[in-house]
Amino acid sequence: MSGLIKSSIARKVAMALSGLFLVFFLLQHFTINFTSVFSPDTFNELSHFMGTNPLVQFALQPVLIFGVVFHFIMGFVLEIKNRNARAVKYAKYSGGANSSWMSRNMILSGLVILAFLGLHFYDFWIPEMVHKYVEFAPEDPTRYYHELLEKFVSPVRTGLYVLSFVFLALHLWHGFASSFQSVGFNNKFSVGATKFAKVFAIVIPLGFIIVSLVLHFNNNH
């Protein structure tokens, strides 16, 4: 652990690996959410499985929470160290001439995603934990779709979700492709891997936006 804190490369690799883990989680989360658009029953079945399976609840969920917390803490640690590495700022700085906005503002997009996670936990995770482990309410395998639908009645909340997914796309646009470089993957396959990461960075957040909007408009019909 001390090596992780001390070495810049170890920190970079740890950041990339935790990011890749979260990318994999996003894909899984999106796949389940997307079923809500065309089959509420399938969504209920999958949600019931994820919400009651002991392996998911007591093994994968803690790993996921650790991954999220680690990624954020390491991101803040790196940001502070990087800011300290240049005490006096340039009077004129032309970052746009040599790098993308996304790559220079990962902390900003990350903070928006962190704020979104707060809202998302408030909306879904905390009520779910209270339902199962505080109130010990009887399990109804058909409750998930209606609970999901309820959350997207408000246009403000739906708007906040959509905005957050835009920032998620900006974060993934640099972060996913960049993680390959961090783990030392730079070879003849890198162009293809980068293209895949860029497509993923657009398609998955766009998919989440579509799910949010469909749920919102389903409420109004």
Partner 1 sequence: MNLTLKIWRQSDAKSQGKIVEYPISGIEGDMSFLEMLDVLNEELITKGEEPVVFDHDCREGICGACSLQINGEPHGPDRLVTTCQLHMRKFNDGDTIFIEPFRAKAFPVVKDLMVDRSAFDRIQHAGGYISVNTSGNTIDANAIPVNKDNADDAFAAATCIGCGACVAACKNASAMLFTSAKVSQYALLPQGQVEATDRVMAMVNQMDEEGFGNCTNTGACEIECPKGISLENIARMNREYMKASIKG
Instruction: Using CB under 8 A, list all residues that contact partner 1.
Output: 3, 6-13, 78, 81-82, 84-95, 97-100, 103-104, 106, 174, 178, 181-186
Cβ proximity to partner 1: between 83 and 146 the closer is 83
Under 8 Å between Cβ of 116 and 161: yes
Q: 216 to each of 59, 152, 167, 210, how far by Cα in Å?
A: 33, 5, 20, 10
Cα(209)–Cα(34) distance, rounded to whole angstroms? 10
Q: How far is the CB of 93 from partner 1 (least distance, A)?
A: 5
Of 60 and 107, CB closest to partner 1: 107
CB of 169 to partner 1, least distance (A): 18
Q: What is the dihedral of CA 203, 204, 206, 209, to 10 degrees?
A: 160
In this structure, what token pair is assigned to residue 221? 């019909």
Cα distance between residue 2 and residue 153, in whole Å:
48
Question: Shortest gap between Cβ of 108 and partner 1 (angstroms)?
Answer: 12
Q: Which is nearer to partner 1, 16 or 211 (CB)?
A: 16
CB of 121 to partner 1, least distance (A): 27
Shortest distance in whole angstroms from residue 99 CB to partner 1 = 4
DSSP letter string over 99-144? S-HHHH-HHHHHHHHHHHHHHHIIIIIHHHHIIIIIS-PPP-TT-H
CB 96, min distance to partner 1, A:
9
Minimum CB distance to partner 1 smaller for 84 or for 220? 84
Smaller CB separation from partner 1, 89 or 221: 89
List helix spans (H) across the chain.
2-6, 8-38, 40-52, 54-55, 61-84, 101-104, 106-120, 126-129, 144-151, 155-182, 190-219
49 token code pair: 């499985």
Nearer to partner 1 by Cβ, of 125 and 185: the residue is 185
